Amino acid sequence: MNARIEPTSLLPTLADIEAAAQVVYRDFPPTPQYRWGLLSERLGTDCWLKHENHTPVGAFKIRGGLTYFDQLAKRGAMPREVISATRGNHGQSMGWAARSHGVACTIVVPEGNSVEKNAAMRALGVRLIEHGSDFQEAREFAIQLAAERGAHMVPSFHPDLLRGVTTYWWEFLRAVPQMDVAYVPIGQGSGACSAIAAKLALGHGVRVVGVVSSHATTYADSIAAGRVVEAPVTTRLADGMACRVADADALAIIAPHIDHIVQVSDDEVAAAMRAIFTDTHNVAEGAGAAALAAALQERDQLKGLQVGLALTGGNVDATVFAETLTRP
């Protein structure tokens, strides 16, 4: 694995995670995790769902935004403007944290991005720019724009983001110490890395299974090849997993610690979105339902195990969700 820096140096320690939790809890309390009866019945074993759709921006990313800005403040390096790229949830995280610190925030999204995620970012004071056909093109434009304007470019993967995101897996594994296997979707990699970081920090024995869209396979391909491999993105539903180029640092953490990778199709994700709504009456966006889609794919291997699923976000456009619910 050709990592740019030693991967273990990126992982937060238990002390880091505990300190990050105190930063996060200034804005909202720990999110709940429930053993849902109907969901467990559907999966054929005990199934716990971590509700990151219950954060103030409806997704886990806010945790990383809060700790990223907290670290900037502690270093006395608060910029006048931050710029980043997103498909939506990372941008809301940046907008929320930037607003609380009085920092201007510009976010670049690809053309045709979620209408409601765009609206949510604007409501947080974000200046929104649409550019490019996918996340990678939006990201490259954001980097160029930040350089031109002398603004601070916030990456999608960074240790200061990771320490905040790890708090949700720290909460989850402490709440369900008997968890045998956890499924976590992979977009830019912070979710999977945070599950690994919490597992190692707590000395927990859970097996961490990564989930990628079968229409966006860069992480699966890169792990198989031992290097970053670009892969086309064609998913129309799991926009939070629509990554064309894996992050090398995230890959260096994930590859040696992930149990295995499961690929899920848009049809499987749609079925999982319907199942979560039917069984729990919670709304899951495509990436938020991917963990359940993967667990259902491996249902026969999970009998007798305690399964943990990350419902990473519920930010799906109403029209898309309505169509998904009524799909035959």
The number of folded domains in the chain is 2
Q: Is 153 helix (H, G, I), strand (E, B) or coil?
A: strand
Distance, in Å, from the CA atom of 327 to the CA atom of 29, rounded to the nearest integer, reads 35
Note whether 245 and 115 are same-domain residues: no
Give the pLDDT confidence score for residue 7 in this predicted structure: 65
Q: Which residues contact 49 (CB under 8 A, 6 or more apart)?
A: 33, 34, 36, 39, 276, 280, 282, 292, 309, 311
Note whether 314 and 238 are same-domain residues: yes
- Residue 1 forms part of a structural domain: no
- Are 293 and 248 in contact by the 8 Å Cβ rule? The answer is no
- Are 126 and 91 in contact by the 8 Å Cβ rule? The answer is yes
Q: Where are the alpha helices (DSSP H) in the chain?
A: 14-24, 37-43, 62-74, 89-100, 115-123, 135-149, 159-175, 190-202, 218-225, 248-257, 266-280, 286-297, 318-326
- Residue 74 forms part of a structural domain: yes
How many other β-carbons are positioned within 10 Å of the β-carbon of residue 178?
Answer: 11
- Among residues 106, 133, 153, the one where a domain terminates is 153
Give the pLDDT confidence score for residue 5 in this predicted structure: 44
Note whether 309 and 208 are same-domain residues: yes
- Among residues 102, 120, 153, the one where a domain terminates is 153
Distance, in Å, from the CA atom of 87 to the CA atom of 224, rounded to the nearest integer, reads 26
Q: Which residues contact 111 (CB under 8 A, 6 or more apart)?
A: 130, 131, 132, 133
How many other β-carbons are positioned within 10 Å of the β-carbon of residue 290?
Answer: 35
One-letter amino acid at 4 equals R
Q: What is the dihedral of CA 134, 246, 114, 297, to 10 degrees?
A: 120
Note whether 81 and 104 are same-domain residues: yes
Note whether 28 and 78 are same-domain residues: no
Q: Note down the domain range covering 116.
A: 62-153
Longest alpha-carbon distance in the chain: 56
Q: How many CA atoms lie within 13 A of 11 on its CB side?
A: 22
Return the ∠ at Cα 190 (arms to 18 and 205), rounded to 5°.
60
pLDDT along the chain (328 residues), means of 10: 54 97 98 98 98 97 97 96 93 96 96 93 96 91 95 94 97 98 95 97 97 96 95 90 92 96 97 98 97 98 97 96 91
Which residue has 């201007």 as its token pair? 104
Note whether 56 and 17 are same-domain residues: yes
Single pTM value for the model: 0.93
Give the pLDDT confidence score for residue 87 in this predicted structure: 86
- Among residues 153, 178, 211, the one where a domain terminates is 153
Note whether 78 and 199 are same-domain residues: no
- Residue 286 forms part of a structural domain: yes
Distance, in Å, from the CA atom of 251 to the CA atom of 145, rounded to the nearest integer, reads 26
Note whether 172 and 257 are same-domain residues: yes
Note whether 243 and 94 are same-domain residues: no
Distance, in Å, from the CA atom of 161 to the CA atom of 53, rounded to the nearest integer, reads 18
Note whether 321 and 232 are same-domain residues: yes
Distance, in Å, from the CA atom of 134 to the CA atom of 138, rounded to the nearest integer, reads 6
